[in-house]
Chains A and B, each alone.
Chain A
Amino acid sequence: MNIVVCVKQVPDTATERKLRSDDKTLDRDAADGVVNELDEYAVEEALKLKEAHGGEVTVLTMGPGKATETIRKALAMGADKAVHLSDDALHGSDALSTSYAMAQVLKKIGFDLVILGSESTDARTGVLAAMLAERLGASQLTLANKVEVEGTSIRVQRITDYGFDKVEAALPAVVSVVEKINEPRYPSFKGIMAAKKKPVETIAIGDASIDAGQVGLDAAWSEVVDFAAAPPRAAGTIVKDEGDGGANAADFLASKKFI
């Protein structure tokens, strides 16, 4: 089975994240880059499926040169090879252009299964997997906390507001995973060393028939009009419980008409 895992480098949530004042895009230099957490679960699930069914796991990322760090981590966990789509023309791409560019690469490299995290910790749009399925004409099995493959069919448990749906489809498919699906492995020393020798192909938009007029800031389907740091919340009232903390909190709730 030919599995492609899409991973994204995102600014570390623990550091201050900013938008650039010039073009209102993510300031990638302001914070440390890490692998999007949910994508690590996607890598783990891909490796498990490979262990069970054979095949190959390819890591795909789109991002500037620095995003190579993200690829190395996935390779160290056990992925076989990587494709890095990197081109200045992609800077400022929104979800629609990102899904278009990634779909073009996926068409070029081929796949039975595409796996990714259900959302990224930076943009948090949660739309990429659905968009990829739409663009690729592949089955959409998103928000999965359990994945089973049998021959050319795939079954997942799709998390819903009321519990979950059992969903089945034929490959090729796009799967997005939620955090509950597994426990991502830590790269071993051996894995880290082996990752250095694994093939990483860096491609530009021309290598995947990506139309420059459909990507980047100027082509984006949506735009940030303006932005500002959220005003700090006004300091609240903090009281120490002296045996009447619950009653005091009730007074507060009553003053706000919640009771």
Chain B
Amino acid sequence: MSEILVLVEQVEGEVKKVTLELLTLARSLGTPAAVWLGPGITADAKAKLAEYGAEKIYVGGSEELVQYVVAPKAEALAQLVADKAPAAVLVAATAEGKEIAGRLAVKTDSGVITDAVGLGEGFVADQSIFGGGVNVRAKVRRGTPIVAVRPNSTAPAPSAGAGAEEEISVTLSEAAKAARVVERVKQEKGARPELTEAAIVVSGGRGVGSAENFSVIEGLADALGAAVGASRAATDAGWYPHQFQVGQTGKTVSPQLYIAAGISGAIQHRAGMQTAKTIVAINKDPEAPIFELADYGVVGDLHQVVPQLTEEIKKRK
């Protein structure tokens, strides 16, 4: 079977869950080959990639690959595509993953599909567009299929692969070094999972009422091991940082469970969370449109309901 390249996402040497999902997905369509770009691959990371089915691990360990914006990774992948003629390239549908996919598509004269929520035979991808209103099946018809897949689209399942390491040397063009990263500023809050790849997301909106009251949302999130999100109303009010905004002009999340507290569910918010598998809504207003999406809804004051729910979860653990 032909090789399918999977671009590895990692944080400080640890392979992110979405990469394990992509390897699992790739296994059903061909032979998965992980591509690690940047310094710092560890024995643990290699073992993890092999555990989830990577037959090959291509390692480009140059520091230069991460010192510039997006272009070096696209260039390295383009060289691999030229050398290995893979059946497809899969990346995570994160903001940066999609940008890498876009540049790679231009470089290799290939079609690209973004935000796939499923991928089947012939690399036909499922997408959910227009705020979740329309389901589309799309495919690439020119070049090597490049598909950006949303986190949480596939349940990661281990199945050992050979994990044969192959070093790749990448020659970067001057153009790839045009935009240099001079400083990385981390603002991540505590130990919570990253918003776009969390299996559970608890979001607060206008009904939360203040920045201080977001501790109620954080309490529930921590009891569930979840990420915290916020609606635009809440981030615009300055109650929660902008990078946690879920919706049309914020992040798109597709978790197993999404809990919306004090969020009315305007179309702009729904566009960012509608593909969640299970949705729970808590809102005082029984007419709130979020209840149309909810698998379970509580009409009530989140300041009563959420702390009680948090306590119940802690009790039952």
* Chain A residues within 8 Å of B, Cβ to Cβ: 13-14, 16-19, 37-38, 94-96, 99, 118, 121-131, 133-135, 137-143, 145, 158-170, 173, 178-180, 220-230, 233-234, 236-241, 243-250, 252-254, 256, 258-259
| A95, A137, A243, most chain B CB atoms within 10 A | A95
Number of A-B contacts (CB under 8 A): 290
Residues of B within 8 A of A94 (CB): 111
* Chain B residues within 8 Å of A, Cβ to Cβ: 11, 69-71, 74, 94-96, 98-103, 105-107, 109-115, 124, 128-143, 175, 178-188, 194-196, 200, 224, 242-243, 248-250, 252, 256-257, 267-268, 271, 278-280, 282, 286, 291-301, 304-313, 316-317
* 19 sampled A-B residue pairs with Cβ under 8 A: A13-B267, A19-B134, A99-B102, A124-B115, A164-B185, A165-B183, A173-B179, A221-B140, A222-B139, A228-B135, A230-B128, A230-B132, A234-B295, A236-B279, A236-B291, A236-B296, A238-B286, A245-B305, A259-B317
Contact A163 B140 (CB under 8 A): no
> Interface of chain A, helix or strand or loop or mixed?
mixed
Contact A245 B135 (CB under 8 A): no
Residues of B within 8 A of A128 (CB): 102
**A19-B134, A246-B305, A248-B298 are contacts. A130–B102 as well, Cβ < 8 Å?**
yes
| A130, A135, A138, A229, most chain B CB atoms within 10 A | A130
Question: Which of A162, A227, A233 contacts B135, CB < 8 Å?
Answer: A227
Residues of B within 8 A of A249 (CB): 280, 282, 296, 298, 305, 309, 312
Residues of A within 8 A of B107 (CB): 134
Residues of B within 8 A of A246 (CB): 298, 304-312
Contact A223 B243 (CB under 8 A): no
Q: How far is the CA of A19 from the CA of B129 in the complex (A)?
A: 10
Q: How far is the CA of A253 from the CA of B309 in the complex (A)?
A: 10
Q: What's the nearest-Cβ distance from chain A to residue B69, in Å?
A: 5
Contact A245 B300 (CB under 8 A): yes
Contact A225 B124 (CB under 8 A): yes
Contact B316 A95 (CB under 8 A): no
Residues of B within 8 A of A95 (CB): 102, 105, 112
User: A96-B105, A246-B311 known; 15 other A-B pairs, CB under 8 Å?
Assistant: A16-B133, A125-B102, A138-B178, A140-B103, A158-B69, A163-B185, A166-B183, A221-B109, A222-B140, A224-B138, A240-B299, A245-B299, A247-B312, A252-B280, A259-B224
